[in-house]
Amino acid sequence: MPGLRVILRHQPENKRYLLHTLFSTPRLRGQNKSTNIEVIQEKVRLRDISLDLKLPRSITGAESVDAGEVTLSTVGGIQRLLIGELNGHAVVPLSYA
């Protein structure tokens, strides 16, 4: 899904990664100085975003900041994160030992 952004940051002092997710659908709304004006006009709620993670450190826990129910599991040796819901922007703090 090209509109889905997943951006990772690291908070070493908190021993966690921050997985930011964003989703929006800019709409074409005319032009200004020959460039398109694309305005984010509505929120579209997504559910069940499933991500396989291969981060520098193994994740021990996942929290939800407006991400609905968040589930961490291991599938075939790979850590899989299920994000229950995304309505614009959510953060999933991923802690490591």
Give the interface with other proteins as residue ranges (CB under 8 A).
1-14, 17-20, 22, 24, 26, 29, 32-33, 35, 37-56, 65, 80, 86, 88-89, 91, 93
d(Cα 17, Cα 57) in Å, to the nearest integer? 9
Of 22 and 61, the one with the shorter C-beta distance to other proteins is 22
In whole angstroms, the minimum distance from the beta carbon of 67 to other proteins comes to 12
* Burial status of residue 16 (CB atoms within 10 A of its CB: 0-12, 13-18, 19 or more): buried
Of 72 and 93, the one with the shorter C-beta distance to other proteins is 93
In whole angstroms, the minimum distance from the beta carbon of 74 to other proteins comes to 13
Sequence-separated (6 or more) residues with CB below 8 Å from residue 6: 19, 20, 21, 51
In whole angstroms, the minimum distance from the beta carbon of 68 to other proteins comes to 11
Q: Are 73 and 57 in contact (CB under 8 A)?
A: no
Of 2 and 97, the one with the shorter C-beta distance to other proteins is 2
